[in-house]
A = this chain, B = another copy of it.
Amino acid sequence: MPAPAMEATATAKRAEPSIDKTLGERLRARRKAIGKTLKQVADDASLTVGFISQIERGISTPSLASLYNVAHALESSVDHFLSKAPARHHSVVSHSGKRQTYHVGDTARFYEFLETGFPGAQLNACLSHVPPGHVSETMSHEGEEFVYLVTGEMRYSVDGVEYLLNAGDTLHIDSRTPHSSANVGAETAIELWVGTMQLFPQ
């Protein structure tokens, strides 16, 4: 079937421009951040000045091997340049009591929103206040998450397995596994959530 193959090529080509442009911009930003010239990076990566220049301007795409070398020359790692980049308000420090709160769905459960500390951050965090008896829906999505139970008593169901957590306990899961939570205590529970996927898409 030559027709699908032709279409495949077209698809692959279409994906390239935006990938290259973003990748190139990030590589240049990083190079400038560490104060290296094109020549220095090229020498360290064992590639030519011209090629690095073209990569940065999205004109050429490096192979994976070359990208590894460039990332290393930039004192970084490949995944750092290929991750999704949220761009929004940032605050290094977030003080208790002075945070924006959000109600999503249930009015009794609310979240303290913790802004990311710097552009390009991969971690996102929030403090979740869960009233007694509250049960969440079962979720499954990309990323991973870490939960520290600040106060209260919660039960977490992960891929059918149940875990009971008390204050000071932690939970760390691959978010792709179906998971849900329930406040099984008598008081409002507070959980600190830190994860790798974006919160509040707005």
Name A's B-contacting residues (CB within 8 A). 4-5, 7-8, 11-13, 15-16, 19-20, 23, 46-48, 61-69, 76-80, 82-84, 91-97, 114-118, 120-123, 125, 142, 144-146, 148, 150, 156, 158, 161, 163, 165-174, 192, 194, 196
Contacts and interface: CB of A to CB of B under 8 A. Distances in A.
A78 B19 CA distance: 11
Contacts of A68: 15, 19
A96 B196 CA distance: 24
Contact of A142 (B77, B97, B156): B77
Q: Is the interface of A mostly helix, strand, loop or mixed?
A: mixed
Closest 10 CB pairs of A and B: A117-B172, A96-B168, A8-B46, A79-B79, A94-B170, A79-B83, A79-B82, A194-B194, A93-B163, A15-B65
Contacts of A69: 11-12, 15
A76 B144 CA distance: 12
A66 to B, nearest CB: 6
Nearest to A116: B172
